[in-house]
Structure 1
Amino acid sequence: MNKRKIVFTVTLAVIIISILGYSAFAGVDNEPGGSNDPLVTQSYVDQYMQWKVAELKTGQVLQCHAGTEFIPRRGQAVVVDSTGNGIPDVTAGEDIHAGSATPLNHLLIVPRDDGRGVKAQSPAVVMYRGEATIQ
């Protein structure tokens, strides 16, 4: 009879320890891409993946850094490009050169960090993703 109590107590103790151990580690998220091991950081997503909106006054320039994407949404704007290479219009599949109007709702991507961007000819709204400054 005493041996049964010992086996029962040991079995019960093992079950309780197993349940407690599982409960302690069940909330740990070590999966790649999980909150404890993200594939990218929140600051990266905030800076590079989310669209920002620039409301440009007439004459202001949205000067973009390399890799910045932008979409002219309202108003009239022209491409600023001192290199003469233009800015790729991904939507139309062509380059837009300095002084040419930017078509509304087209995705444009600045390939290099050399001062390219867009200048407002009238109040304009431009969505952009990446790094840019308004001058």
Structure 2
Amino acid sequence: MNKLLRFFMVIVAVVVFSIFALSVQADVTEPGSESDPLVTKSYVDKVLSNLKQYVDSKPGSSSGWEIVYMEQGQSLIGDKGTEIILRSGIATVVDEGNGGLADITEGKDIINGENVMQNHLLIVPRDDGRGVKAENNNVILLIKGSYTIIK
């Protein structure tokens, strides 16, 4: 009887193990399948390169600041969202009565004809002719965004 009981216990253990193994295997996706794809480094590099090119092709996606040199009498008119920092020289706001530029450093608007403070971050709120005018030679600006320089 002892042998029969051991045999029965082995059979039960094999059946329980088989059921457990099948259920665990059913929950694990096969590597390389649609639900668990395998990719190569070259594929990931290609996708990242395409994504970078896409982002760089969008207007206003410039990640860096551009240095702009202006002469007396020139005006820089920014598009909506353009950021401006006066680094050197004297400049005033150009806004044609539209509300001015947002001086983020001071937390206020500066309007047409007011002096721009050096090292203050300015933001152009709309595409309606707002910007800065060089009042002397050697005006140096840091710009992030789209703009037009007019005489």
- Aligned with 1:49: secondary structure? coil
TM-score scaled by length of structure 1: 0.72
Q: Distance in 2 between matches of 1:62 and 1:78?
A: 11
More helix by share: 2
Structure 1 residue 51 displacement after superposition: 1.1
Name the structure 2 match of 1:27: 42
Letter in 1 for 2:43: V
Q: Tell me which stretches of 4 or more aligned residues in structure 1 moved more than 6 Å.
A: none
Further displaced range: 112-121 or 77-86: 77-86
Alignment coverage as a number of residue pairs: 112
- Aligned with 2:109: secondary structure? strand
Two-structure CA RMSD over aligned residues (Å): 2.6
Mapping of residues 1-135 of structure 1, within 5 Å: 25-29=40-44, 34-38=48-52, 41-44=55-58, 48-123=62-137, 124-135=139-150
TM-score scaled by length of structure 2: 0.65
Largest Rg, 1 or 2? 2
- Aligned with 1:27: secondary structure? helix
Structure 2: give runs of 5+ residues left out of the alignment. Answer: 1-37
Q: Distance in 1 between matches of 2:62 and 2:45?
A: 25
Structure 1: give runs of 5+ residues left out of the alignment. Answer: 1-21
Does the 8 Å CA contact 1:70/1:108 hold for their aligned counterparts?
yes
Change over 3 Å in CA distance of 1:60–1:41 after alignment to 2: same
Q: Distance in 1 between matches of 2:74 and 2:40?
A: 55
Letter in 2 for 1:77: A
